Amino acid sequence: MMNTLRTGLLMAALTGIFLAVGWLIGGQAGMAIAFLFALGSNLFAYWNSDRMVLAMYGAQAVDESTAPELVHLVRQLSQAAGLPMPKVYIVHNEQPNAFATGRNPEHAAVCVTTGLIERVNDEELAGVLAHELSHVKNRDTLTMTITATIAGAVSMLANFAFFMGGWGRDNRSNPLGLVGVLLVTLLAPLAAVLVQMAVSRTREFEADRSGALLSGRPLWLASALNRIEHAAEQIDNPQAEANPATAHMFIVNPLHGGFSGLFASHPPTAERIARLNAMAAQMGQARAAGPWT
């Protein structure tokens, strides 16, 4: 409940930043235009984001005949979660990783890399898939699509403000004139990225928790996160490097270098593992075989 409230507040803050940018550019009229632009962007993302992301990564759909064990595992977990069976995809990529996408549980897709299938055991794979299906059940795929769209739109408006606003002979449309332009250009994109990353980190913690409950074995996901984190640090993900705005979708950060901490799209993996270990201890569990093997 607390994670849901926090996510709602963060998304409200992100929307507020977007509207403030519109106001700084053009007053009330600019704010109205920004709102309409945000609405149009989100509608487009709502209907097309899943196809766009899957196409970016060259994901290939699989079924019982081409990947029977993977599809069977997804089906078992989906039934346990009370979800419709999502489409299942595989990306040919050596880095072990996974993500979910889709506007709602009825139009969801779960995607794993070949590196993940090759490097984790059945229990760890079940933990990862339970995490991704929790994103679907919690509708995080839509939440993160909307936040990414608004954050990107804020940057676009900031660039528009820099190149088109405040530099002409008539600055009356910009309430703060040159000062407003500089504030928009420098601070708005930074604030939007910070809020987007905060939303992503919040949803990752919740998906870890609910995914561990779905599989019934928090240690499976903890072990998978440890294995994926170490491998991802050594193996590049060219598709993600070419599309860094999608990095937040993965179970572990697929990018190398860049900022950490405040600018990270994922919580520290060590903290995630610690929380899962604590869950397992509360449930009185040690590593053992379970219903998905």
What is the average pLDDT across 152-164? 67
pLDDT given at position 182: 67
pLDDT given at position 166: 46
pLDDT given at position 265: 73
Task: For the chain, report the end-to-end CA distance as a whole number of angstroms.
Answer: 32
Q: How far is residue 142 from each of residues 104, 149, 203, 265, measured CA to CA in Å?
A: 7, 10, 12, 16
- Helix (H) or strand (E) holding 88, with range, is strand 87-91
Helix axes 269-282, 218-234, angle to 10 degrees: 160
**Residue 173 in this model has a pLDDT that exceeds 80:** no
Read off the amino acid at residue 86.
Answer: P
Domain boundaries, the chain: 2-282
Question: Which residues are designated catalytic?
Answer: 132
Q: Coil, strand, or helix at residue 62?
A: strand
Most confident of 81-85, 163-167, 233-237, 240-244: 81-85
What is the average pLDDT across 58-73? 97
Q: Which residues contact 112 (CB under 8 A, 6 or more apart)?
A: 70, 89, 90, 91, 97, 98, 125, 128, 129
Query: By mean pLDDT, which of 29-43, 163-177, 255-269 is the weakest?
Result: 163-177
pLDDT given at position 165: 53
Check if the beta carbon of residue 232 is closer than 8 Å to that of residue 253: yes
- As a whole number of angstroms, the distance between CA 275 and CA 27 comes to 46
